[in-house]
Each structure stands twice: as structure tokens, then as C-alpha cells.
Chains A and B, each alone.
Chain A
Amino acid sequence: MSEKYEPVIVGFLCNWCSYRAADLAGTARIQYAPNLRAIRVMCSGRVDPQFVLKALRDGADGVMIAGCHPGECHYVNGNIKTMRRFMLLQKMLTQLGIEEERVQLVWASASEGIVLAEKIDQMTEALRTLGPLNWKKRVLNSGNGYQAAEAIPVLEEA
């Protein structure tokens, strides 16, 4: 890969608003960070927290869940359920040491291509600042876990 660190974001975009917003951003040729890899779901309410954890475990630096604005959900209130899950998930992710910038919930209506593009740009930059997550290598397989090798100098080596 190039010298510059390019974060990878897995995006769960709802079929009716945010996926269409991404379509619109493309159609309007809005230029934004190509770092989001989108997965289409019918509603942000379909996003099982397992998906978020799976993406983080499998190498994503961040996860974006995008849906219709509250009150505009095409399934009436699927996005409200997403909010409930997201807020509890964020609380748990904090316990797991995952910075809140890494998992974001954003709203973009079908006409807000520019809004979605901006959010993706912002998130990409935020992740660039945080640096790679690289869960399997840096957290699980590092023997001592993330950064701990530096933090604990004398515990096991004689």
C-alpha cells in the first residue's frame, strides 16, 4: 500500500436513504475519500451489532452505520432501534478500548449525497489521526496486546 496510511471503513448503508445518498454523491461526481466500503442493508435496523464487531475483528479501522434521519425511516422507526443499539454498543465498545470515532452512526437522506460524502471524509480523517486498528495483529496476536509491550517493560523477561 502507499506510504500514507489509508484507513478502511466498512459502511452499512440503508437501501432507501443512505445508499441512495451514496449513489447521488457518485452521480453528482462529489469527490470524497474512497475509504468506505459499502454493504447495503434494507434498513439500518438490520445492522446486527455482531456485524460491527465482525468488521472490526476482520481488519476494518472503523465502521459507519448510515440510515435515514429519525422520523424519516422508510420502515417508520427502524433507525430509532438502530440508535438504541448503537448507543449501548458504543458504551460497551468504550469498555473494549475502541475509540468512539471508530464506530459512527450517521444520518443521510436520499438527497444528502454531499452530507454523506462529508461524513465519510471526516471519518476517514478521524481514523487517520487515530491510526490503524488492525485487531488481529495488533490486539490479539501481539502476545501482549495493543501497545502493552511498551507499557509493561519488566513483567516477564528476566
Chain B
Amino acid sequence: MVITPIHYIIVPLIAAFAIPLISKIHKELYRIVPGIVMFYNIIISFVLMKEVNEVGYISEIIAGWEAPWGINLIITPFSGFLVSLISVLGFLIWLYQYRFKKVIDVGEIKSYGIMQMLMITGAIGIIITGDIFNLFVFMEIVAITAVSLTSFYRGRDGAEAGFKYLLIGSFASAMVLLAILILYTQVGTLNMAEISERMHLVPQGIKATILILFIVGFGIEAELFPLNGWAPDAYSQAPGPTSAAFAGIVVKAGIYGLIRIIFTLFDIDGAFDFLIIAGLVTMIIAEFSAVKQTNLKRMLAYSSIGQMGLVLIAFGIGTKEAVFAALFLMFNHAIIKSLLFMTGSILMYNSKDKTILSIHGIAKKLPYVSILFAIGSFAIVGLPPFSGFWSKLYILTAAANKEMILLIIAILAVSIVEIVYYFRVVSKLYFAEDTEHIEIFKPSINSLIAMGVLAITIIVIGVYPDLITGYLHNAADMLLDKTSYIKFVLNNNVQIQ
């Protein structure tokens, strides 16, 4: 069977529907099957990435209906890159949690595996679909799984976080739905390429309204201020691997939605400036709020929001260079923040009252986890020679090329704040006396492997960024090349065999 984009969706779905059955055969299977699926995702990604870098675009139409009429899945270097990233992360997150849950019995593990897997599938779906309503459906898949996963643990305030997420999340879906509705009345189609082609027909006032509705809808998923009230709660209450998936995967999908709307669908002025302003405000408020946090995961959540702000700023600058930088930052943030959440949740689990104050000197007991956390912290604040440095550098360079000095200063000032709160944790981790002797829960070997792979990636990319810059440049070019996208989807809808 030829590997096509639809495999991203049907394989996990088969697994999801089959897991309740196969778990009757053997108890271990429902833990392993998601891993196999994730691994298969990686294979698909690599095959498709290789192809897409030669061909330029891969499109697959569903049910044999040509592009404007049926739903098409489309992989560009941009989406292909994100999807590969998500696949790899998804697999690592599975690897991390594989035996984690065995030790801590807290909930229905079967559902956990299914939901985690389908959340990743939903995120992939958001990215590869070429149809706006289909995007909405995948968004809902992500939203429902995310809410359920947030409230997975019973001992915590998961339900509260979940409810807030659901409340704000249903606003998001309502806004997107409303936007799709208005859009449909104006252009009479749901295919994104065709919408983009016909966008000039839409009157300006209505166009702006649609854009605003989309911005609010996807902004909620992309953690734009002030739409991100749910995020710190959800991140801090979700199980560790899920927080990692939120930061690495779900937010990326949200950002992708926003970017896709603004870059591909709309031809409206001011959207880029809006992105810069919104990103800046988001970044500043989130990073400021992070400083005084006592809950490590909450702190990481704010930091994550701040980074998303930076991504939006980079997209808002809008040049090819800036988009490249934004992609690089998304990549970095995905791996680094996942690593931080993975290590952070182990640290938190082992602290007595689940606050930063009580992880004093835990490094002696958990040396590997601590050093991985330290690597993550160093990388996220952008210290060389870790990968975070390069993305920050590229963003700043892109801003400098547009002579936005104040923006540069703001970004760097916020970076200092970032250094303050990350290094505070690291120094506590290593150099404070440990006061409490508690039973230490050591991570299993597979978790360590997963975290180690992320850390090694951080260092390798940091030392030799050329490994991925080529792909990223390609992706950035393609994102900005709207016309060839439209042309490809609408005219050349020959199915690639």
C-alpha cells in the first residue's frame, strides 16, 4: 500500500476503535498499540517529507471528489514539517509515559492512551486538511480530548481546569463555526484554496468580521492574550505527558490555524501588525506572570504562552526570514518545552507540596532528570550552544532587517525576565539543601530515553543548526507562496500515487 496523508488519520482511528477490543486479548496491548501507531506516524512523516521536498506539494482527495468539492488533505513543506515534528514528539511522549502510568494508578488508562493518541491525530488533522470545516472538526477532536485529559487526574483540580478550558474552548469553536458560516455565504465554498482565490469578492467589512472571528477562535487555541485564561490551569493540572503534548503539539496546531488563516486565506492589511501587537502583549504579560509562580508546571505554562507570543511576533514581521525564524522557534519550543514538562512533572511529583520551594536539592536524588531540566532551561532562555539561541537570533535578525529596534529590545528584556525565573528553579534544584526526605519516584528507563532524545536533539541542533534550516527555509518559502498553493489545489488535483 502506498503511503498517503490519509494514513495519518485512519491508522490512529482504527487503533482507537480497536483498542477496547484488543485490550480484551492482552492487558499490555492497549499500552503498546498507541506507540506503534505513533511510530507509524513517524514513518509516514519521513516518507512524505522526503517526497514533498522533491515535489513541492502532496495532495490527497477524499472519496474521489476533486479539490474544491471534496475534502482534500494537503501536505506542503510547511505543514509536512510541523506534522513530522508532531509525529516524533507524539512518539516520544508515548515513550515517556509508557510505563509511567503503570506505577501511578489514577484513572482509566485505556481511555488515556486513546485520547492522547487521538489528540495528536486531531492536531495533525488540523494541519494537513485543506478544508476549513474539516479543520473545525479536527479542532473539536483536539478540544474534547484536551479537556478530558486535563481533568484526567482525580486528585487534583483537574476538573476545574478542564471546565475552564471547555468553557473558553467552546467559545473558540463557536467563533470558528460562525466565521465559517459567514465565509460560506460569501464565497460558497469550504475549500481553503478556493476561499483564498475568491477572497477578493468579499466586502471589506464582512471580511474584517470574519477575520476577527477566526482570530478569536484560533487565538484561544494559540493562547493569545487575553484569551489564554484557560492555559495555565490546564497545563498545570493535566498529567505530565499531556502538558508536554499541549505545549509541543496542541498549541502548534492552534498557531498553525491562525497562521494559515492569516497567510493563506485573507488578503487583508493590518493583520500582520495585529499579530505583532498581540504577540508582544501576550509575551510580556505571560512572562511577567511566570516570575512569581510557585507551581513549576504553571510557570512552564506561562513561559509557553510567552513563547507563543514570540512566535506570533515573528510571523507578524512577515518576511521570509521572519517566517523561517518563527518556524524554527516553533520547532525549538516544541522540543524544549516538552522536555521541560516531562522533567518538570517528575520533579513536581517528587516534591513534597508540589511547589518550586520544595524541590530544594532534589538534583542529588534525581541527577539525570535535573540535568535534563537544566538543559531545557538553558535552551529555552536562548543560551548558546543550545538550539533556542538560534531561533531567537533569527527572529532578532529578521526584526533588525525591518528596523524594529524597539521590538528587539522588548524581546530581549523579556528574555531577561525569563532567565530570572528559569535560573531560579535551576539553582534551587542544584544548590539548596534538601530539607525533606521523601520517597523518590524514579523515572523508568523508557522515560529517560525519551527525555534524553529530546535533550540530545536540543544540543545537536544547537551546535549544528544546518541540520534543519534547509527544511525550514523551504517551508517558509512555501507558506508565503500563496498563489502556487491555490494553483496546485485547484488545477493540479491529480492524485499522487
Q: Judge: A and B partners, yes or no.
A: no
* Residues of chain B at the chain A interface (Cβ within 8 Å): none
